[in-house]
Amino acid sequence: MPLYTKHGKEYELPDVTEQPVDEAIDLLENEGFNPIVVDSVFDTNYPPGAVIRQNPLPYTIVKKGRRIYMVVSIGKRPLYMPALIGLTPKDAGFRLKEHSLNLNNTIYEFSEFYPEGVVINQSVPAGEQVERNRNINITVSLGPPPSSQEIPNLVGRSMNHAIKELESIGLKKPKINYQYRPNLVPKTVLAQSVPPGTAVKNVKSMTLNVSTDIPIEKPEKEDPLKKQPGDTTDE
């Protein structure tokens, strides 16, 4: 702590910024000043209870008995979980980002109460205090569950929706064939191996053709004339 110098009846004001407020008050009172806390504010750079600012400024020449006004930190502003239910997954991701949170996993479930494509549940309830950068899971509605025991028309549906719908009527997860379709939303069902309306009891397995925006490399055809290791040449 720098020493203050007496100039007649005036003294150099010590620097109490960054000190715990109780220690700052004791120091100022012991040196004959009158410390007053005028405000407490959120501040990410100072721990709770630390002096952020003082007025007059440190090392100002002042008289004994002078009032010294201090602003004290109350730490980081608390972060509360936003409400996501009813939003689209895209909007939920934006809302989380605005609150310094991360969208982690997206789960899909059927719902009698929410339309397809909106958030119906969140892993942390709205209004609960959370830490920054926490990972949040959301559940998205697939709409009402199918009531029929026939294969539905899945073309145009998302792959996740199609899989859930097939599982809900007792079929195991279908085989997925990806096809490069850069102009479509990725993981959109393009075709199904079993026609809509087919009785589920007559279906053992099913294949879905699904779009992708990632080019698919085809395996190179083997050149029958290309010499392979170990080949010999008859002359």
* 186 assigned to some structural domain: yes
Q: Within this chain, do residues 199 and 170 fall inside the same structural domain, yes or no?
A: yes
Tell me the residue range of the domain where 138 lies. 78-145
Number of domains observed in the structure of the chain = 3
* 29 assigned to some structural domain: yes
pLDDT the model gives residue 235: 40
Which residue, of 106, 127, 145, is where some domain finishes?
A: 145
70-108 as b/e, with b when 16 or more CB fall inside 10 Å? bbbbbeeeebebbebbebebeebbebbeeeebebeeeeb
Q: Is the dihedral of CA 95, 101, 104, 105 positive or negative?
A: negative
Instruction: Tell me if 155 sits within 8 A of 144, measured CB to CB.
Output: no
What does the block give as tokens for 90?
Answer: 């895209």
* 85 assigned to some structural domain: yes
Q: Within this chain, do residues 179 and 211 fall inside the same structural domain, yes or no?
A: yes
Q: Within this chain, do residues 153 and 206 fall inside the same structural domain, yes or no?
A: yes
Consecutive H or E run containing 28 = helix 21-30
We report the CATH number of the domain holding residue 104 as 3.30.10.20
**Residues 235, 233: Cα–Cα separation, whole Å:** 6
Which residue, of 145, 171, 200, is where some domain finishes?
A: 145
* 89 assigned to some structural domain: yes
Q: Within this chain, do residues 134 and 162 fall inside the same structural domain, yes or no?
A: no
pTM over 0.85: no
Render each residue's pLDDT in the chain as its tens digit; 235 residues.
444 444 457 889 999 999 999 999 999 999 999 999 999 999 989 999 999 999 999 999 999 999 999 999 999 889 999 999 999 999 999 999 999 999 999 998 888 899 988 999 999 999 999 999 999 999 999 888 777 788 999 999 899 889 988 888 888 889 999 999 999 999 999 999 999 989 988 898 899 999 999 988 766 555 554 554 544 444 4
Q: Within this chain, do residues 61 and 90 fall inside the same structural domain, yes or no?
A: no
124-162 as b/e, with b when 16 or more CB fall inside 10 Å? beeeeebeeebebebbbbbeeebeeebbbebeebbbebb
- In the chain, pLDDT over 90 holds for what percent of residues? 65
* 222 assigned to some structural domain: no
Instruction: Tell me if 4 sits within 8 A of 37, measured CB to CB.
Output: no
pLDDT the model gives residue 109: 87
Distances (CA, A) of 112 to 77, 144, 146, 150, 152: 39, 5, 11, 20, 18
Q: Within this chain, do residues 163 and 211 fall inside the same structural domain, yes or no?
A: yes
